[in-house]
Amino acid sequence: MRTLLPRDLPLWHDARGFLDVRSNDVHTLISYGLARALCAEHPQADTSVVLPAILLHDVGWKRVDPALLSEAVGPNPKHPELVRVHEIEGVRIADGILQRHTPEGVDIAQVLDIIDTHDTVKQAKSLNDAMVKDADKCWRFTPHGVATIAGWFGDGLAETLDMLEDFVMPSMLTDTGRAMARGFIVAARAQMESDDYLKGHSDE
Ligand SMILES: [Fe+2]
Ligand SMILES: [Fe+2]
């Protein structure tokens, strides 16, 4: 089974040119896969809304000055207002892409509504919205997410895992999303500590 559904391939081809900043292309593919996994556990979720929304949610970062990207996020961001900018620009770009393809059965208004508040509103307004928010956040716990975030803030692996566990995990919206995130964390930590355990340095 390939990551992207055939229905969403035309959207991906149009979105790619907007996702070549901040590792957003790989982030998007991984989050799309995570969204499919979440929806498999929540059959009431509508994948024809969730999957186009996660595929297009971050296209707006392309419109933000690359020099300011790293100052938009993190514990003490200098330009937090840019998070709202990428949502607004993202809605505009995603609208163009969706209108061009008008994929069958896709509720474009609902997709755009989810993109519009995917970062700045913490609560979910629907199950579909919760799937997108948790898939987006769950990426941070994956090997690609951890490596990317550690690079942004110059932190080590152990500090990054602790930060994710203490500050991001509690904001997961579904039990499924939290379980997936916890699985990634324990695997990363065990792998990190395995050398020590294998050498017998951390027996206690
Ligand atoms: Fe975003
Ligand atoms: Fe994202």
pLDDT in tens, 90-119: 999 999 999 999 888 999 999 999 999 999
Residues with CB under 5 Å of ion ligand 1 are 58, 119
How remote is the CA of residue 86 from the centroid of ligand 1, in Å? 7
The pLDDT score that the predictor gives to residue 9 is: 96
The whole-number pLDDT of residue 66 equals: 86
Q: Could you give the dihedral angle defined by the CA atoms of residues 139, 140, 143 and 148, in that order, rounded to the nearest 10 degrees?
A: 120
Sign of CA dihedral 152, 81, 171, 66: negative
The ligand with the least distance to the CA atom of 115 is 1
Contacts by residues 198-203 (CB-CB < 8 Å, ≥ 24 positions apart): none
Phi, psi of 76 (to 5 degrees): -130, 70
Q: Which ligand is nearest to the CA of 87?
A: 1
Ligand 1 centroid to 93 CA: how many Å? 13
**Residue 155 token pair:** 């932190």
* CA 139 – ligand 2 centroid, Å: 8
Give me ligand 2 centre to Cα 154, in Å: 20
Which ligand does the CA of 139 lie closest to?
Answer: 2
**pLDDT-derived band at 129, boundaries 50, 70, 90:** very high
CA of 28 to the centre of ligand 1 (A): 10
Q: Which listed ligand is nearest to 90 at the C-alpha?
A: 1
Q: Is the pLDDT of residue 75 over 60?
A: yes
Tokens 């716990």 -> residue:
141
Q: Which of 51-60, 79-88, 106-115 has the lowest mean pLDDT?
A: 79-88
pLDDT at residue 191, rounded to an integer: 96
Position 204 pLDDT exceeds 60: no
Please report the pLDDT score of residue 203 as a whole number.
58
Q: How far is the CA of 131 from the centre of ligand 1 (A)?
A: 14
Percent above pLDDT 90 for the chain? 83
Rounded Cα–Cα distance for residues 39 and 59 (Å): 22
What pLDDT, on a 0 to 100 scale, did the predictor assign at position 162? 96
User: Burial, 108: exposed, middle or buried (Cβ in 10 Å; 0-12, 13-18, 19+)?
Assistant: middle
Window from 16-25, 53-62, 140-149, 151-160 with minimum mean pLDDT? 151-160
Ligand nearest to the CA of 145: 2
Measure 115 CA to ligand 1 centroid, in angstroms. Answer: 8
What is residue 202's predicted lDDT score, i.e. its pLDDT? 59
Rounded distance from Cα 137 to ligand 1 centre (Å): 9
- The pLDDT-based confidence of 128 (bands split at 50, 70, 90) is very high
